[in-house]
């Protein structure tokens, strides 16, 4: 697909926003929008949406009759939010706080959030980072990229998402050595056919841009093979880059090292990976302009030393209410003193590294003594 056509991609729509009343009405249009909502909807928020509810007849039979499922508009006070990454399903569980008379208030209900259907989120107070996340999702649709890591020992293919990298296929192979030129040429052709078949299956479902990476010259040969054997896919190849590792390790290396920046400069995962590399680099060198853990970061925030607060999404989503309020107060302090907040997804490698540091780190403007 041409770059000029990307502008027609779907993005999250913000229909109404009344922060005085704490309400924002939106329409999610992509699965990635569900990921944003999963990280924005908290316990004790209220979510309003169209749903269906089984209404049982009020008749005194010996056996209870099965009720009729009817469409209703309900408000649910949130107790739990679940997101099925594989199925792309977002569910909001809670108790009914508003609905028609036939639906009992206080009863439990689960809203299955649907694409292209409006919902309203009501919070006691919206944090700045939450509004910024919605605004960013509504302005830029970060197009997924297919990454092909290929060399003479095998290939791996993955697609990028706003929440991480999803490996689609991984194959190992051993080509004949370069001294057996004839055998190697024939085997390579069959190998490329197999790789093309895997790539076509992925690309046919979502014809997204393709980046080819790998060790040595095999990646370049595969790119030329695509031009001759699959011109439609070849047109989607936007970059060919070298890495030091093959397979899935090469894909993560490409994200860490920045060789995918040309293709993914709008992709949030790259920003998150880069900031964690900077955190680990400063820690590794023992630099004084880095700290981690809630207590230490809080000390730095109070004196205006925090330039960037790096926070794992799980810290906000999974903490108790009291703990989350403390974290949000810390975030407000950082923002008031001109600091930037970067929330890192725990669905990919960078987030896992941050969790190992306690889920929170800060890059400092100046050293603390």
- Identify the band that residue 2 occupies on the pLDDT scale cut at 50, 70 and 90: very low
pLDDT > 70? residue 59:
no
Angle at 336 between CA 273 and CA 321, to 5 degrees: 70
The reported pLDDT for the residue numbered 264 is 63
Residue written as token pair 């469409």: 71
pLDDT > 90? residue 67:
no
- Across 127-143, average pLDDT: 80
- Identify the band that residue 364 occupies on the pLDDT scale cut at 50, 70 and 90: very high
Distance of CA 318 to the CA centre of its chain: 17
The reported pLDDT for the residue numbered 256 is 83
| Cα–Cα distance, 172 to 77 (Å, whole number) | 50
The reported pLDDT for the residue numbered 62 is 42
pLDDT > 60? residue 307:
yes
pLDDT > 50? residue 4:
no
pLDDT > 50? residue 317:
yes
The token duo for 181 is 């030129």
DSSP 143: -
- Identify the band that residue 142 occupies on the pLDDT scale cut at 50, 70 and 90: low
3-class secondary structure, 369:
coil
pLDDT > 50? residue 60:
no
- Identify the band that residue 318 occupies on the pLDDT scale cut at 50, 70 and 90: confident
- Contact between 46 and 76 under an 8 Å Cβ cutoff? The reply is yes
| Cα–Cα distance, 172 to 34 (Å, whole number) | 34
- Contact between 18 and 123 under an 8 Å Cβ cutoff? The reply is no
DSSP 318: S
pLDDT > 50? residue 78:
yes
201-215, 231-245, 247-261: range with lowest mean pLDDT: 247-261
Residues of the chain with pLDDT > 70, as a percent, come to 91
Pairing of strands 340-344, 164-172: unpaired
Inter-helix orientation angle 321-336/294-302, to 10°: 30
| pLDDT tens, position by position, 249-301 | 999 998 888 777 667 655 677 778 889 999 999 999 999 999 999 999 999 99
Task: Return the higher-pLDDT residue of 227 and 164.
Answer: 227
3-class secondary structure, 180:
coil
pLDDT > 90? residue 337:
yes
Average pLDDT, the chain: 88
| Cα–Cα distance, 280 to 262 (Å, whole number) | 24
- Identify the band that residue 54 occupies on the pLDDT scale cut at 50, 70 and 90: confident
The reported pLDDT for the residue numbered 31 is 80
6-15, 88-97, 188-197, 245-254: range with lowest mean pLDDT: 6-15
Distances in Å between the alpha carbon of 296 and those of 54, 114, 289, 355?
51, 41, 12, 16
Specify the pTM: 0.67
């Amino acid at each position: 697909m041409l770059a000029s056509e990307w502008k027609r991609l779907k993005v999250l729509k913000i229909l109404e926003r009344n922060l005085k009343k704490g309400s924002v009405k939106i329409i999610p249009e992509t699965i990635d929008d569900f990921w944003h909502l999963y990280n924005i909807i908290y316990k004790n928020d209220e979510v309003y949406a169209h749903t269906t509810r089984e209404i049982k007849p009020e008749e005194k039979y010996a056996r209870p009759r099965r009720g009729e499922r009817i469409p209703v508009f309900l408000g649910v006070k949130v107790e739990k939010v679940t997101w099925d990454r594989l199925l792309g399903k977002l569910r909001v569980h809670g108790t009914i706080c508003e609905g028609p008379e036939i639906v009992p208030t206080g009863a439990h209900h689960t809203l299955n959030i649907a694409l292209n259907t409006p919902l309203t989120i009501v919070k006691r107070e919206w944090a700045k980072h939450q509004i910024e996340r919605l605004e960013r999702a509504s302005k830029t649709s970060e197009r997924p990229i297919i990454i092909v890591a290929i060399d003479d020992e095998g290939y791996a293919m993955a697609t990028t998402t706003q929440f991480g990298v999803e490996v689609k296929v991984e194959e190992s192979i051993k080509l004949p050595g370069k001294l057996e030129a004839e055998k190697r040429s024939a085997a390579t052709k069959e190998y490329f056919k197999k790789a093309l078949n895997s790539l076509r299956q992925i690309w046919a479902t979502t014809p997204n841009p393709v980046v080819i990476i790998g060790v040595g010259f095999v990646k370049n040969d595969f790119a030329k093979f695509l031009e001759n054997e699959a011109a439609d896919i070849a047109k989607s190849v936007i970059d060919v880059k070298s890495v030091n590792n093959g397979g899935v390790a090469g894909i993560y290396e490409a994200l860490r090292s920045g060789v995918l920046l040309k293709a993914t400069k709008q992709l949030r995962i790259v920003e998150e990976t880069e900031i964690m590399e900077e955190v680990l680099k400063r820690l590794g060198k023992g630099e004084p302009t880095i700290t981690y853990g809630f207590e230490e970061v809080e000390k730095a925030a109070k004196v205006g030393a925090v330039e960037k607060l790096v926070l794992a999404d799980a810290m906000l989503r999974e903490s108790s209410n009291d703990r989350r309020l403390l974290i949000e107060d810390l975030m407000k302090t950082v923002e008031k003193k001109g600091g930037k907040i970067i929330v890192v997804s725990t669905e990919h490698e960078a987030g896992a590294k941050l969790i190992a540091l306690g889920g929170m780190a800060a890059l400092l403007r100046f050293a603390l003594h």
